[in-house]
Structure 1
C-alpha cells in the first residue's frame, strides 16, 4: 500500500484491533464503516508497514501464579553505547523481565519483572540481575496493586 499518512479509517482499524485483537474481519469492517475485502487489505497493509507488530492475549498473571510485580531501577558502571547494548541483549535472556526501558537521568534502565513470589524474585535478583556484567546498582520497588493497565497507545475511540 505504501501510504505515508494514516487516514481516519486506518486509525479506527488500529483502535479496534488494539482493544480487541481477536475481532473478525467482518465485525471490524462493520465497526469502521467499510466492507470486509478492503478492510482486510488495509489490515494487511498496516501489518506490512509495521503499524501492527502482532496480536497477543492478555493473560491473568495471578491465575498463572505470577503474583508479584517489581520495578527495578538499574544503574550501570558504563554508559558507552556498546555497554548499553550489551545490557539490553542480556535482559532479553531473562523471561521474568517483561519490559525494559532505557532512561535519561540517574537511572540507566527500568525493568518490569514478574515473579511467582518474593523468594523467586530474590533468587533472580541475587543470582542474575545484580551480578550481571556492568551492573553498578539496583533499586527495587514492589507493587502493591495495579490501578491502570492500558497497553498500546491512546488512539481515539471508534464511534
Structure 2
C-alpha cells in the first residue's frame, strides 16, 4: 500500500524537481518548516522510494550527440525470458537513452542519441541483428516540443 503524502511532502517534492541542488535551509524556507524536520522528511521520502535519486540533466547536443531518434522494436517472441533478455541487452547499448516495454504491436520503444546519422545507422544494424528481433522501425526527431523531466504534483483530475 502506498503512503499518501501530505501537502508539505508534496511541496518538498515539487521544489526538489525544480532544483535538485537546493540547500536544505532554502528548501525548508520555501516549504514553510524548519531545517531539521525538512531534512527528516527528505530522507524519509528517499528511503520510501518517492525520490529515486538525483542527477544532472545534460545537453546532448553540446556533448556532440546531434541526432535523436526513436527505434520501435518488434520481437519474434514475447516470452518473459526473451523480453528480459532484450531489456538486459539494451542496458549495454550506450546510444539508448531511454527504453520502454509497450503493449500492442511494438514490444519496445528506444529513445536513442547519436553523434551523426552514420553512427545511428550502425546502431540500427546491430539492433536488427540482435537475437529475437523481428523488425525495427525508426523515426528521426526534428524538434523537441516539450522536455519536462518532472512528475505533475497537482491532484489528478476526477
Tell me the TM-score normalised to structure 2 length. 0.94
Which residue does 1:130 correspond to in 2?
A: 128
Q: Matched residues in 2 for 1:111 and 1:10: separation?
A: 33
Q: Matched residues in 1 for 2:4 and 2:59: separation?
A: 36
Compute the RMSD of aligned alpha carbons.
Answer: 1.0
Q: Matched residues in 1 for 2:153 and 2:119: separation?
A: 37
SS of match in other structure, 1:34: coil
For structure 1, the 5+ residue unaligned runs are none
- Residue 49 of structure 1 deviates from its aligned partner by 0.5
Which residue does 2:82 correspond to in 1?
A: 83
Q: Matched residues in 1 for 2:52 and 2:95: separation?
A: 21
- 1:1-40 correspondence runs (5 A): 4-40=3-39
CA distances 1:20-69 after superposition (whole Å, capped 9, x unpaired): 10011011101111011100010011000011111111111111011111
For structure 2, the 5+ residue unaligned runs are none
Which of 1 and 2 has higher RCO (CA within 8 Å, sep 6+)? 1
Which residue does 1:70 correspond to in 2?
A: 69
Tell me the TM-score normalised to structure 1 length. 0.93
Q: Matched residues in 2 for 1:80 and 1:4: separation?
A: 34
Q: Matched residues in 2 for 1:114 and 1:155: separation?
A: 29
SS of match in other structure, 2:86: helix
Q: Matched residues in 1 for 2:29 and 2:143: separation?
A: 37
